[in-house]
Amino acid sequence: MQVEVRVKLKDQVLDPQGEAIRRVLCNLGYEEVGQVRVGKLMLLEVAGEDPELLRARVEEAARELLANPVIEDFEVRLP
Which CATH entry fits the domain spanning 2-77: 3.30.70.3420, 3.30.1280.10, 3.40.50.300, 3.40.50.720?
3.30.1280.10
Which tens digits make up the pLDDT trace of 28-76?
999 999 999 999 999 999 999 999 999 999 999 999 999 999 999 999 9
User: How far is it, in rounded angstroms, from Cα 73 to Cα 60?
Assistant: 13
Model pLDDT, residue 67: 98
What number of CA atoms fall less than 13 Å from residue 44's CA on the CB side?
A: 20
Which tens digits make up the pLDDT trace of 24-41?
999 999 999 999 999 999
Residue 79: pLDDT band with limits 50, 70, 90 = confident
Q: How is the chain split into domains, by residue range?
A: 2-77
- pTM beyond 0.75: the answer is yes
Cβ-proximal residues to 53 (8 Å cutoff; 6+ apart), any chain: none
